[in-house]
Amino acid sequence: MTGNDQGCADGYVGQVERDPDGMLWAVLYYGAEIVEREQVRSLRKGRRRVTDLVLAAADNYPNGPLFPAAVSRLASLPDQPAPSGRRLSGVPHLV
């Protein structure tokens, strides 16, 4: 496969998610794996942060993230399932 033939599962995807407590998070995925997750104050700021996360990751790690480093940073965060069919209005914010 060439780079253009690869699906979304092999690339970076970001979206704004709301947890059960009502908090908003900017979440960066590489395939089904969470690479980074940051709390945001509003949907607007979350969308901006998702754009920054996706572009920075694609610039710094075009062949994929270094998962051991990302996993150790996320170890203290509560478990969050992979993206589901439920989205906020205006979400997913795919870049």
Q: What is the pLDDT of residues 65-90, one digit of tens each?
A: 876 544 444 444 555 554 554 444 44
Beta pairing class for 24-30 and 33-40: antiparallel
- Assess if residue 87 is contained within a domain: no
Mean pLDDT computed over 1-27: 77
Mean pLDDT computed over 35-41: 95
Is residue 35 within 8 A of residue 70, CB to CB? The reply is yes
Tokens of 69: 């480093």
Boundaries of domain holding 14: 3-74
- If one counts the domains in the chain, the total is 1
CA 54/CA 95 separation, integer angstroms:
7
Q: What is the pLDDT of residue 68?
A: 53
Instruction: Please provide the average confidence, as pLDDT, over all residues in the chain.
Output: 75
- Assess if residue 29 is contained within a domain: yes
Write down the pTM of the prediction: 0.62
- Assess if residue 92 is contained within a domain: no
Mean pLDDT computed over 50-70: 83
Please indicate whether residue 86 or residue 33 has the higher confidence score (pLDDT): 33
